[in-house]
Amino acid sequence: MECPAPFDRFRGEVLPEWIDYNGHMNLAYYTVLFDQATDVLFDALGLGLDYRRDRQFGTFVAETHNLYERELLVGAGVRVATQIVGADAKRLHLAHEMFALDGGQRAATQELMFLHVDLALRRVSPFPPDLHERVAAAATAHADLPHPAWAGRRIMLPGPDRAPTGSSPAATCPP
């Protein structure tokens, strides 16, 4: 299987029912679009729905981090480019970037860590050899891409004020 680097085959559109009271796409629907992009990649890798049905294995997300950079309005077209940041016997680390089709500006990023799971046992398990080979080949195809500067970030306040103060949120919020 040839895996373009980055994997850039997903296109989507912001639907009217996804708009929040601020007039732009609600944060939950960025995740929906990123998840749909993951499905396109997983189908290409052989990790999609047929794999789950036929072999009783799948993937679970263990961790995710979204970064919202620009708002998207109803009807906006988007594309998602995906980079395989890393893979091992049981895990797959992805980095998605969502771009507006109109203007090409990046709107959001998402970093995910997937675990390969035996669905019958509900336990993390190694990829079967044939699938491990496909995932490793795709990861190798992406290995020369620069590591996304935003991947691996953590959430924190900037500067010296980020240290905990000891007060609880309930003590500082009005009733």
pLDDT digits (tens, 9 = 90+) for 9-60: 999 999 999 999 999 999 999 999 999 999 999 999 999 999 999 999 999 9
What's the whole-number mean pLDDT along residues 91-99? 98
The DSSP secondary structure of 65-93, one letter per residue, reads EEEE-S---TT-EEEEEEEEEEE-SSEEE
Strand boundaries in 14-159, DSSP class E: 57-68, 77-87, 91-100, 106-118, 123-124
Locate 37 and state its tokens.
Answer: 């992009």
**Domain residue extents for the chain:** 7-145
Predicted model pTM: 0.89
Element containing residue 34 per DSSP (H, E) = helix 27-45
Q: So what's the architecture of 7-145 in CATH? A: Roll (3.10)
Scan for tokens 């970064």, then name that residue: 67
* 5-19, 24-38, 117-131, 144-158: range with lowest mean pLDDT: 144-158
